[in-house]
Structure formats: structure tokens, C-alpha cells
Amino acid sequence: MSTIVDWYKDVINNKCHPYTQDWFLVSGPGPLAVILVTYVYFCLSAGPRYMKDKKPYELRKTMIVYNFVQVLFSIYLFYEGLMAGWLYDYNYFCQPVDYSDNPKSIRMAKIVHFYFICKLTELLDTVFFVLRKKSRQISTLHVYHHTLMPVCAWIGVKFLPNGHGTFLGLVNAFIHIIMYMYYMLSSIGSHMNKYLWWKRYITMLQLIQFGMIFIHTIQLFFNGCNYPRPIAFLLLLNATIFIYMFGSFYVENYRKRQRTQTKDEQINMAAKKVE
């Protein structure tokens, strides 16, 4: 047991990035663990029990403001990710972690930390689903995604707050600009539905996102890049799991539904001919 404790202390205190180890919620995994356990417990147990005999909260204005703020956060993340490295300086084939006090490296570290904070604020997505009694939206994919992303972001800001792995945050920020824009418009009211025909394409973009991350990461195993292999493996595993889960979601919610609608239309046309 003492060996495990010593290993843990060594990883947390000695293997971390020297400039981020004391930043807000970064020093150790305890605070994040408490937040995520509370999140899962509320969304899957306490919240639904609390709302069982209550009418769903409308939260329309809250949702509009929340989604608008998330759009602004995502725009800022995307811009800073480009300016801190990916637009001019970073190598898309191999970008090692910089442990120096290079101003651009510190700038990227700060944006990775902000990305981590954003992943925590996005937990409110599920909280709002619970309060609005949108239980169908609280899928295994949704809860898994929102629980895992803060963990990945914490590992990033704690140990590798710049370099190759930050590409994930850049792409994710771009997708979230579109996604939260959709959510904001849908929160305005049902009269906006006629302008929101592009919902299915958000899932397609998410699939493309993880496909890009998969390709961007797998090359590290073949090009001799000086980037930590365990982290590269975790990024690859994470991308693979999400490709499967989002792919299954897309097939189940769009492809099968489309085939069912087409079949119903054919039946209705046949019935009209008989009449």
C-alpha cells in the first residue's frame, strides 16, 4: 500500500507541469472527483427523485443566457488555441510538450486550464435536463461524455498543458460553437424549429471531430515523436470509444428513423393507390 501511495505522490508532485501544478482545481484530483461524483449522483438519482412530483422548470431565459455564454467561451477557446500555437507555430505531425517558460507555451497552458473550467460549467447541460424533466436526453453517452471530458482536461492541464494533445481542445471548441448556437436558438421557442433542420449534422460533426483526433493521435506511434505514449494511447482509446458511441447514437436516432419514415411513406402511398 505504501508503494502505491509513494507512486501517487511522485506522479502528482513530480511528474506534473511546473507552471500549472498550483492552479485552481489542479493541485490534486480530489476536488474534481467530488464535483463529478456529485454530478453523477444528482443527475441519475437525487435530481430525478426531487423532480418526480414536480412540474418541469421552464428555464427558457436561463437556457438562452447559458448557451450564449457557452458560445462565447467556445469562440474564445478556439481563437486562443489558434493564436497560442495551432495557427502558426505548432506542427500537426509532432508537437512535443514544452516545459519551459516560453510565453506561447504559458499562453497555451492558460487556455487549456480555461478549457478545463469550461468542461465543468458544461455539466450544467445535464442539470438543466433534470430540472426540465428531459429524461430521454440523459443517455449513457451523454453522462459518460460529460463525466470523462473534465477528467481528460484535468490530466491535460496538470501534466501536458501544451503540445500535440491540445489539438483535441481546438477542434472541440469549434464544434461547441456550432452546438451551443443550436441549443441557444432552440431555447428561444418552438417557432425557431423551422430554422433548426441541421440538428443531425451536429452529431456528424462530432463524429468527424473524433475521427480527426484519432488520425492526429495515431501517427505519434509511427513518426518517432517525443510525446508521452501513455497519454497518446489514452487519447486514441478515448477517440475510439466516442466514435463508437456517437456512431451508434447517429444510426439509432437518424438512420433507423429515416428508414422507418420512408417505409411508412411507402405504406401510405400504397394505401392511397388501393383507395
Within 10 angstroms of residue 159's Cβ, the number of other Cβ atoms is 19
* Environment class of 76 (CB within 10 Å of its CB; exposed 0-12, middle 13-18, buried 19+): middle
Determine the Cα–Cα distance for residues 143 and 149; give it in Å rounded to an integer.
10
Q: Of 248, 182, 170, which Cα lies nearest the Cα of 209?
A: 170
> Nine-digit cell at 99?
516545459
Q: Of 13, 152, 166, 192, which Cα lies nearest the Cα of 92?
A: 166
> Nine-digit cell at 47?
435530481
Question: Active-site residues: which are they?
Answer: 145
261: number of CA atoms within 13 Å, CB side? 6
Question: With contact defined as beta carbons under 8 Å apart, do 238 and 152 qualify?
Answer: yes
CA angle, 70 then 122 then 124, to 5°: 110
